[in-house]
Amino acid sequence: MKVLLVGGGGREHALAWKFVQEDPHVEIIAAPGNPGIAELARCVSVAATDIDGLVALAAHERPALTVVGPETPLALGIVDRFRAAGHPIFGPTQAAAEIESSKVFAKELMADAGVPTARAERHTEPASAKRAARAFGAPVVIKASGLAAGKGVIVSQSLADADMAIDAMLSHRMFGSAGSEILVEEFMQGEEVSLLFLTDGERWLPFVPAQDHKRLLDGDQGPNTGGMGAYAPVYPLVVASGGGAPGAPVTGARWADWHSVVGLAATQVVEPVLDAMRRRGRRFTGALYAGLMVTSDGLKVVEFNCRLGDPETQAILPLTRYALLPLMHAVALGDRLESSEWIGHGRPEHAVSTVVAAAGYPDTPRTGDVIHLPPPEPGVHVFHAGTARNAAGELVTAAGRVLAVTAVAADLATAQHMSARHAAAVEFSGKQFRTDIAWRELARGARAS
């Protein structure tokens, strides 16, 4: 099969790796790809946001399947354009991608579908937004409605901070038009879990739950980033279970394993949202990412993404036993996703992915530092995120998040240790990485299913 893979980050490297595992004869063309992906695919220098260029590339290459990694091309309507030109593509249409590209739309959808989420109000005027922040009380969350490269959410510990965030977005247009409409949102206390699903718009197939680590430093200290690492599966979340029936109140119990968390999220979140999207004529096909907060009142949606997560994918795919290519191909062709046999599809192993970031990340990442990778190690996958080759052919840093080092092991502590040790052995000037990815679960005491 010939596959066009759109994107050039760690998530796309993990997808390319998984495709080659599934089918050593797969022919992958990556646009634009990166030096890691180049070991598995033919990279073509067309940017992931150049929709005209990608349509032209597809017309020339005739891929049997196109898979899109990042959200921007989806929000720009790549799926609509490819479908119109007759190229099978896995992902949501522009209208369906609004579940991520408009947080206001996502909130309205959840309200309609009865999906639990934080209370929020939509505002376009600073004065009324500030009044709303006072009504909610601090801490309060200020969110740009549109896509802001993962930076559009400001969790404000005080009303003064909330006012600053509101002014920055609505008056000073810090995020351009993406912040001309904002949400003022109730702060939710809890632990986050990322649940990713493949869907044909009606049926769904889950991946193992994962947890991202947004803060730069160990112990969840320091500034917010795009994600400094992830682990999977997330096992013993302390919440509640009302038996898993749709809408059942959640009280007190401890989830025994990740299958129940996925089952609960599927009935309380995914199915109602997919139904509501179909009713609005915006059938959602592709990968649906539900960012959930596990609160004392049960699961609540933090956000939806219209694609796989980064860096969650780098932890999840090495554990995923089922083959993605035939499922993605079926969805791209408009066929049914057979989803009856998902239980047990994750390997009974643990993955920890540690992001190695550039000097100056997240504010002003430095590029061009020469990278020396340690020798390959069994059980460790080094996925390239922001790397490039310089004129001398050396591997250099090219973006804030440089590598995602995923280790897979029979127990979580070993996976963490292997991942951190390998990340420590990567050499480039000013590198930053955390040594404690999965710390919450290790602190609770991980248990095997």
| Binding at 192: pick from ligand AMP, ligand GLY, none (beta carbon under 5-8 Å per type) | ligand AMP
Q: Does residue 100 belong to the site contacting ligand GLY (CB under 6 A)?
A: no
Q: Does residue 190 belong to the site contacting ligand GLY (CB under 6 A)?
A: no
**C-alpha 150 chain-centroid distance:** 10
Nearest CB to ligand GLY, comparing residues 70 and 298 = 70
Binding window for ligand GLY (CB under 6 A); candidates: 48-56, 78-86, 304-312, 323-331: 304-312
Q: Does residue 305 belong to the site contacting ligand GLY (CB under 6 A)?
A: yes
Stretch (H or E) spanning 345: none
The minimum distance between CB 392 and ligand GLY, in angstroms, equals: 33
**Which residues make up the interface to ligand AMP (CB under 6 A)?**
118, 141, 153, 155, 185-188, 192, 214, 291, 302-303
| Binding at 48: pick from ligand GLY, ligand AMP, none (beta carbon under 5-8 Å per type) | none
| CA 445 – CA 178 distance, rounded (Å) | 41
The minimum distance between CB 44 and ligand AMP, in angstroms, equals: 30
Q: Which amino acid is at 150?
A: G
Q: Cα torsion at 193, 272, 319, 416 (round to 10°)?
A: 0
The DSSP output letter for 267 is: I
What is the number of the residue whose Cβ is closest to ligand GLY? 309
* φ and ψ at residue 448, rounded to 5 degrees: -80, 155
Q: Does residue 181 belong to the site contacting ligand GLY (CB under 6 A)?
A: no
| CA 21 – CA 323 distance, rounded (Å) | 9
SS3 content of the chain, % helix, strand, coil (to 5): 30, 25, 40
| Binding at 309: pick from ligand GLY, ligand AMP, none (beta carbon under 5-8 Å per type) | ligand GLY
| CA 227 – CA 386 distance, rounded (Å) | 13
Greatest extent of the chain over all pairs of C-alpha atoms, in Å? 61
Binding window for ligand GLY (CB under 6 A); candidates: 13-21, 303-311, 320-328, 337-345: 303-311
| Binding at 360: pick from ligand AMP, ligand GLY, none (beta carbon under 5-8 Å per type) | none
The minimum distance between CB 187 and ligand AMP, in angstroms, equals: 4
Q: Which of 215, 216, 214, 197 is nearest to 206 (CA)?
A: 197
The minimum distance between CB 240 and ligand GLY, in angstroms, equals: 25
Of these, 192, 200, 312, 349, which contacts ligand GLY (CB under 6 A)? 312
Binding window for ligand GLY (CB under 6 A); candidates: 31-39, 113-121, 196-204, 306-314: 306-314
| CA 99 – CA 399 distance, rounded (Å) | 27
Angle 342-117-142 from CA coordinates, rounded to 5°: 125
Of these, 9, 201, 309, 386, which contacts ligand GLY (CB under 6 A)? 309
Q: Does residue 212 belong to the site contacting ligand GLY (CB under 6 A)?
A: yes
The minimum distance between CB 291 and ligand GLY, in angstroms, equals: 7
| CA 215 – CA 149 distance, rounded (Å) | 16
Nearest CB to ligand GLY, comparing residues 226 and 346 = 226
Compute how many other C-beta atoms are within 10 angstroms of the C-beta atom of residue 449: 12
CB of 231 closer than 8 Å to CB of 352: yes
Kindly give the residue spans of alpha helices, DSSP state H, lying in 146-291. Answer: 159-166, 258-265, 271-279
* Total residues interacting with ligand GLY, rule: CB under 6 A: 7
> Where does this chain bind ligand GLY (CB under 6 A)?
150, 212, 227, 305, 309-310, 312
